[in-house]
Amino acid sequence: MVCEVKKTGRDIDTAFALHTTVRAGRITRCHLYEDSYAVAKAYVGD
């Protein structure tokens, strides 16, 4: 996944995992796992 932090203009390029639970054809739970250190670094800088 690649996205841009509007505040700093920096890109976050990181792998992610999406874990969902579906019941009766509806998504009842959704968890996104990503590199939170890379996200924080893109917001604040080096």
- Which stretches of the chain drop beneath a pLDDT of 50? none
Query: From the centroid of its chain, how far is CA 7?
Result: 16
> Residue 8's domain spans which residues?
2-44
When divided into structural domains, the chain yields a total of 1
Q: Return the pLDDT at 46.
A: 65
**CA atoms of 34 and 2, how far apart (whole Å):** 11
Alpha helices (runs of H) in the chain, residue ranges in sequence order: 36-44
Q: Return the pLDDT at 25.
A: 96
Within the chain, strands assigned E span 2-4, 11-13, 16-23, 26-34
**CA atoms of 10 and 6, how far apart (whole Å):** 8
